[in-house]
Structure 1
Amino acid sequence: MPPPLVVAASLVAVEAFVLAALGVLELASIRSTRLTMGATTAAFFLAAAAALAWCAWSLWNVRRWARGPVVMTQLIQLGLAWNLWAGSTKPVSAGLALVALVVIAGLVHPASTQVLEEDARLEP
């Protein structure tokens, strides 16, 4: 597996871990006054974490289908970074944008594209 794809898959795994941590923190902060909002938010974070973890694992195993959902996630993350670019959230915004751009670059790198396209030729 080429290094750019290793980096991309690793960063996606880290993103999945962070989303899972946010989901657990949301579960821990649920109060009776906001039970529905807290439960659905936690469920969303945990489901997104599971989906990203599956995509990261699939990229590690050179599965071409995982590239599309990961790129879409990174584009959403870039939009979130854009919206957070103000005041005290600038460092978070910069971090989100940097990770998203590195993941996208790793996925579209020629070496990554080559091995992912080889996977497509091997599919029955």
Structure 2
Amino acid sequence: MSRKHETAPEAVPLAAPRIPRLTAAAALAGLEGLALAAGGVYLVAMGLFGHRGSTQTAVMGGLTVLAMAALPLTAAYGLLRARRWSRGPALIIQLIALPIAWTMGQNGGALLAAAVAIGAAALAELVLLVHPAATAALGADAGRDGD
């Protein structure tokens, strides 16, 4: 009887375990990006089909907000894939969102609810991104010499 030489199937490298904090931060950044994109589409639509104000100003404002939506969406993509570069844009977005939320909250009324939501999301994402586990997963502490 002849025996055929059987080879073991090649081991497929396992993906690194997903860090829940990075997943949550990516979800928050993605939601912020989607909210900005929705706001940009709304402004463009109101500029084109609305009857109030300057059409050019509304459309340009909407296009600017749409362009701004690209940053948190890109950061969310990078955070989901644990890319080191994504931490900086994600942190910057949150640091910009905090004074925006504060200003909106000062106006009160219907903007107060939006201000609370924006502020809470920004604080939550900041906490998620500066946590040592998230920092280590992104390799942001790789330059440290182990003090």
Structure 1 position 23, deviation (Å): 0.9
- Name the larger-Rg structure: 2
Alignment match, 1:15: 32
Q: Deviations over 1:40-95 (max 9, x none)?
A: 11111111112221111011111111111111111111001111223212222111
Which residue identity does 1:106 align to in structure 2? L
2: CA distance, partners of 1:77 / 1:97: 7
2:121 pairs with 1:104? no
Give TM-score, length-normalised by structure 1. Answer: 0.88
After superposition, the CA RMSD in angstroms is 2.0
Which 5+ residue runs of structure 2 have no aligned equivalent?
1-17
- 8 Å Cα contact 2:44/2:60 also seen in 1: no
Q: Deviations over 1:10-50 (max 9, x none)?
A: 00000010011011111110158512211211111111112
Please identify runs of 4+ aligned residues in structure 1 that moved more than 3 A: 118-121
Alignment match, 1:93: 115
Identical counterparts, % of pairs: 35
Which residue identity does 1:43 align to in structure 2? L
Structure 1 position 119, deviation (Å): 9.7
Within the candidate set 34, 39, 52, 2:59 is matched to: 39
- 8 Å Cα contact 1:23/1:42 also seen in 2: yes
2: CA distance, partners of 1:119 / 1:62: 13
2:86 pairs with 1:75? no
Alignment match, 1:26: 43
Which 5+ residue runs of structure 1 have no aligned equivalent?
none
